A and B are shown apart, each in its own frame.
Chain A
Amino acid sequence: GESVGLHLPTLSVQEGDNSIINCAYSNSASDYFIWYKQESGKGPQFIIDIRSNMDKRQGQRVTVLLNKTVKHLSLQIAATQPGDSAVYFCAEIKGGGGKLIFGQGTELSVKP
C-alpha cells in the first residue's frame, strides 16, 4: 500500500554523537520528501527537504540522503545536542499531489 514508515520507533544517542534516523517509503511515484521535527506540545517544524532528482542535500548540521533504488530516506544529525530531542517524521508527496503522507515517527533522545 501507500505508506511512509520509520524503521525504529526510538533512538537514544549520546550528546555529541551523530544520529541517523531512517525511513522507508513504498510509493515510487513520490517525488518530494521532507523531514519534520516535533517537540512535545508543538506543531511539526520543517528541517530539510529533498526532491527525487537529488540523492543528497545538506543543511546546518543535518543531511538528508535519498536512495530511490531501495526507496529509503535518512536524516543524519551531526554532533547531536539535547535540543535535538524530539520526534522526527519523514513525509512524502506523490507526484502531482499536494498532501503530505507521514510516517509514524522516531523519538530521538539525547543523553547528556
Chain B
Amino acid sequence: GAGVSQSPSNKVTEKGKDVELRCDPISGHTALYWYRQSLGQGLEFLIYFQGNSAPDKSGLPSDRFSAERTGGSVSTLTIQRTQQEDSAVYLCASSFRYQETQYFGPGTRLLVL
C-alpha cells in the first residue's frame, strides 16, 4: 500500500519568507509526527498529533514553527520568517496507533538562503 508522502521534496527559499510543508500519512493511521534532521545531526522531534487529542508541541524550536492536522489526516508544518538555521530535512511519520511503529516519509529538504 501507499506509504507516507511528503511535498515538496525540495524547497529553496529566501530568509524571511514563510514556507509550508505537507504530509500525507498512511491511510488509517491515527498518529502523525514531525521530525527534523539537520546536516550531520540526528533526528529531533518537533510535534505529534494523536486522534482528537491536543498535539504535543514540546519539540517546536520557536514560535515561528506551527503545525496543523486537518480532518485527522493531512498535516501541514509552517515555518514563518525562515532563518538559515532552519535549513534541514523535515520528516513526517505516522503510526496506526499511539506508541506503535512509526513509518517515515521521504522528507522535505529545505534550504534557506
Please list the residues of chain A having a beta carbon within 8 angstroms of any beta carbon in chain B. Answer: 32, 34, 36, 42-46, 49, 89, 91, 93, 97-105
Contacts and interface: CB of A to CB of B under 8 A. Distances in A.
B99 A104 contact: no
Contact of A105 (B35, B42, B99, B107): B42
Interface in B48-88: 48, 50, 56, 58-59
Contact of A98 (B44, B98, B103): B98
Sorted nearest first, the 5 A-B pairs with minimum C-beta distance are: A43-B104, A99-B45, A102-B43, A102-B42, A44-B104
B48 A99 contact: yes
Task: For chain B, give the interface size range.
Answer: 20 to 34
Nearest to A44: B104
A40 B48 CA distance: 25
7 contacts: A34-B101, A34-B102, A43-B106, A98-B33, A98-B48, A102-B42, A103-B42
Nearest to A32: B99
A34 B93 CA distance: 14
B105 A93 contact: no
B111 to A, nearest CB: 14
A16 B64 CA distance: 49
Contacts of A89: 42-43
Contacts of B33: 98-100
B102 A100 contact: yes
